[in-house]
A and B are shown apart, each in its own frame.
Chain A
Amino acid sequence: LAKTTQPISMDSYEGQEVNITCSHNNIATNDYITWYQQFPSQGPRFIIQGYKTKVTNEVASLFIPADRKSSTLSLPRVSLSDTAVYYCLVGPGDNDYKLSFGAGTTVTVRA
């Protein structure tokens, strides 16, 4: 998987929009960008995946610029239950099935 860099932590308040940017300068042509969410004492859960431009689902939006060297996960109108660790993964690279997670971004939503 390509190396990714994302902030260690972010704080927000209920009702605000949270944007988490992930840098992946060495992204390959066949790589996708995938985001996961992890709550304490649970396994990560797939949130959203994209290749280019914008992807939106019921949980989040993913913005990918034309050069694909970064991506931004956008969580609209967060609530306390959105407090979690968010991981950005870029791959699969050259048929690399090794799924390695980085440290992720701890998002804390306050009332």
Chain B
Amino acid sequence: SQTIHQWPATLVQPVGSPLSLECTVEGTSNPNLYWYRQAAGRGLQLLFYSVGIGQISSEVPQNLSASRPQDRQFILSSKKLLLSDSGFYLCAWSSGEPTEAFFGQGTRLTVV
């Protein structure tokens, strides 16, 4: 069966520090991969999505970036975090079936 791993579960980082969140999927190949952010009490904001290795589509201009170095690995990065980067970050994957996606457990990021 397919599983998605996202870590860490929680993270507290100072302003200006770098960020690296990793997401891996097991049990499937060539998944579509997604990064979302959810601010407190708000909806899901799509940040990046990828349909293949090295193919990244950015939805929102910001100081975040994403990379897909391997088929089932998706990384969200920042060189210098801002206070506004705080939020709940979710990774998801889909197999291409229409709009059926599976989410990781999320990372709660607090920038202080």
- Give residues in A with beta carbon < 8 Å to B: 1, 30-32, 34, 38, 41-46, 49, 87, 89-92, 97-104
Contacts and interface: CB of A to CB of B under 8 A. Distances in A.
Contacts of A101: 36, 43-44, 46
Interface of B: 32, 34, 36, 43-44, 46, 49, 51, 57, 59, 88, 90, 92, 94, 96, 98-106, 108
A44 B44 contact: yes
Contacts of A89: 99
A41 B108 CA distance: 8
Contacts of B103: 42-45
Nearest to B57: A98
11 contacts: A1-B99, A32-B98, A32-B99, A41-B108, A42-B105, A43-B103, A43-B104, A45-B103, A91-B99, A99-B34, A101-B43
Contacts of B92: 43, 99
A42 B99 CA distance: 18
Contacts of A102: 43
Given A42-B105, A43-B104, A99-B49, A90 B44 contact: no
A34 B59 CA distance: 22
Given A34-B99, A43-B90, A49-B98, 16 more contacts: A1-B99, A32-B98, A38-B44, A41-B88, A43-B103, A43-B106, A44-B101, A49-B99, A87-B44, A92-B99, A97-B94, A98-B59, A99-B34, A99-B49, A99-B92, A101-B43
